[in-house]
Structure 1
């Protein structure tokens, strides 16, 4: 049995943070129903590369989700959504604050039909405050959280990630919040659910360590250091003889000592400044020169083998071809190959973790817009005539 089998999640969110949270829950066996507007599907379906007219990001983001097309602006669509929410444990939405209220689909209305429902509301800035009605995307969260200001080269501009980092972090926070709320519901004598307010600006801020406490107590901020760290050295990426790159980390004192011994400079470990990570970080130029020169004279395979033998910490800087071929990822089963009806054998990253008894699974890839509308609504009790009427007035697609 899948861990979340029997749990129904209605995903009425778009783009990334909300839909990715629903994807994580679906990986664990939840029955996820993706609700999209009949004429304006989730913009994620057009994000990034495509093959043969099939969006590749959607194949992953939409996996394990049954798709229905319902227009929440219409009376018929709202009625269908209410009936669907009545069967759900969780609804995930990311409309601007006040939108569900305007449609008569706020938590008061939903919980009146289903007192145990958990409503996860994912927005850029949260449900309260002066920015609540602003459009919110992960890029803005990466900027406002302090991530961008601390990322990049010392003499360069603040740097944004080339992917949806803040959305991804928020998706994990949302999935965690949902499970906390479900546990609280199970402990509540009346089995009551609740609303969850997830602001995308907050989870990534929580991941950035003690920057707020540092500013509060010391009045200082973390500077941009490129690939270096202010907490230890050597810590950087280095180019090998064959043009590949490797990353070295020495967060532990013993690892730092092994690295300088490996590269032929064991005497550096006797320097007073070498005894702490901060001291080594203050001599990063010297350590980078020593380690970088040693690595530059060897191939990537030679560097990895030597570091492994010395029990020092190193990793190759991978691209997707490397990831798919790597024996550790293969041992973990990280990459799943799923049969897709349009594209055939399709590789994608799998669920986030393994369990000793229960199994996560990817049952199917992202499905076509509205592919399951009739099946899902029929399961809610709609007759063929009622579906035809809803389709005729544009309430469903």
Structure 2
């Protein structure tokens, strides 16, 4: 087996919620030694769960049971916690900040996604980091970036969806804006992926120039790029798209259509005349000669009528059958699957994407695997979801060279541990 692409790169992660941890996951998958820097004196809600001690029956835990160590059992965190290491230190104390600085000196990359003013109060600045490691790469992720009037505003998924113009394009024209906000936002995972690209580029730049990098990334900006059609249409034509329901600004017909069975649906998008001809061969050959549907503009003009005709056909067929028949003639189509159906999907199974993994506090479950398959250096789950403070001994004693007596003293003074200190609450 070949060396992993990022083997030998050490990453410090001081991250919360999703965007930062997601970025850490990819870097760790590709071989970087990712060390999560956490504190047993402070609990960040939404990261290792919403509460230090959630009530029994709280969602997001195995069998809805938070257990004795809920911070090691939360589904969202654990889904992104593979292949990482974790240590604890209280950087709000001077000696804790000194330990953090020592870690910076022996690291290549630092990732944060706190609000900038939080980092300001902690004294974490680019100048401070460069003083410890001149060629350090800092991926500074935040909701609105490190400059501008919104710099220190708090951000969360739906808020980013809204301010980036995404929510205004979702939903149906006859529904109020509440229909445009999803249950989960793509902004955070999208940023996680974008940050990895920026970090790897900065590592390449450092290798060529010897210089580090400050990477200033705003969720609100990068998420605008995920909806190019309406934004560029406005830039070019001054036109505001508004909501389209399940329709597409280019493809027609395009949407979700009811199929046989209980609440089964299929997604279909016809992007050009060639696909339209293939679609008609499967559904109704006479449509290709119908003047109402002769070209894309005609189909757009009569989209309401066309959608009713399409659904009158899909309702008579199984959603997988519709997918297979349309795919055979080159038409993009796929069933709308819930989580249970995804676990059983033949493609997911054939590629062995879901991987069984055991973690001491959680047990054995299927987890999403790596999203790339490298032939010469396979990406695997080398370590299960990391537990709070799991690698304290390695980081303190081997990475930093701290003695056993000093390690014990730091434990007694509240820096080192594997459980949150008594009285710590979500803040």
**TM-score scaled to structure 1, two decimals?**
0.93
Work out the CA distance in 1 between the residues paired with 2:272 and 2:362.
46
Work out the CA distance in 2 between the residues paired with 1:59 and 1:361.
16
1:216 CA displacement: 2.6
**Correspondence for 1:27 among 29, 46, 52:** 29
What's the counterpart of residue 14 of structure 1?
A: 16
For the 8 Å contact 1:21–1:175, the answer to whether it is kept is yes
For the 8 Å contact 2:41–2:414, the answer to whether it is kept is no
1:100-249 map, 5 Å:
100-158=119-177, 159-188=180-209, 191-243=210-262, 244-249=264-269
Deviates more, 1:82-91 or 1:335-344: 335-344
1:192 CA displacement: 1.4
The answer on 1:4 being equivalent to 2:6 is yes
1:364 CA displacement: 2.2
1:348 CA displacement: 1.5
1:131 CA displacement: 0.7
The answer on 1:50 being equivalent to 2:96 is no
Deviates more, 1:205-214 or 1:177-186: 205-214
1:23 CA displacement: 0.9
What's the counterpart of residue 286 of structure 1?
A: 305
**Residues 185-223 of structure 1, C-alpha deviations (whole Å, 9 max, x = no match):** 1110xx111111011101110111143332232111112
For the 8 Å contact 1:138–1:200, the answer to whether it is kept is no
What's the counterpart of residue 423 of structure 2?
A: none
1:354-369 map, 5 Å:
354-369=373-388
Aligned length: 394
Work out the CA distance in 1 between the residues paired with 2:222 and 2:247.
24
Work out the CA distance in 1 between the residues paired with 2:183 and 2:208.
42
1:321 CA displacement: 2.2
For the 8 Å contact 2:157–2:184, the answer to whether it is kept is no
1:101 CA displacement: 4.2
Work out the CA distance in 1 between the residues paired with 2:228 and 2:346.
32
Work out the CA distance in 2 between the residues paired with 1:236 and 1:35.
44
**Residues 154-174 of structure 1, C-alpha deviations (whole Å, 9 max, x = no match):** 111231121131111111111
Work out the CA distance in 1 between the residues paired with 2:253 and 2:160.
30
What's the counterpart of residue 386 of structure 1?
A: 406
Deviates more, 1:326-335 or 1:56-65: 326-335
**TM-score scaled to structure 2, two decimals?**
0.87
**Residues 93-134 of structure 1, C-alpha deviations (whole Å, 9 max, x = no match):** 123224444434322222222122100111111111111111
1:287-306 map, 5 Å:
287-306=306-325
Work out the CA distance in 2 between the residues paired with 1:88 and 1:106.
16
Structure 1: gaps (5+ residues): none
Work out the CA distance in 1 between the residues paired with 2:251 and 2:269.
8
RMSD of the alignment, in Å? 1.9
**Correspondence for 1:250 among 248, 267, 270:** 270
For the 8 Å contact 2:138–2:214, the answer to whether it is kept is yes
For the 8 Å contact 1:126–1:198, the answer to whether it is kept is yes
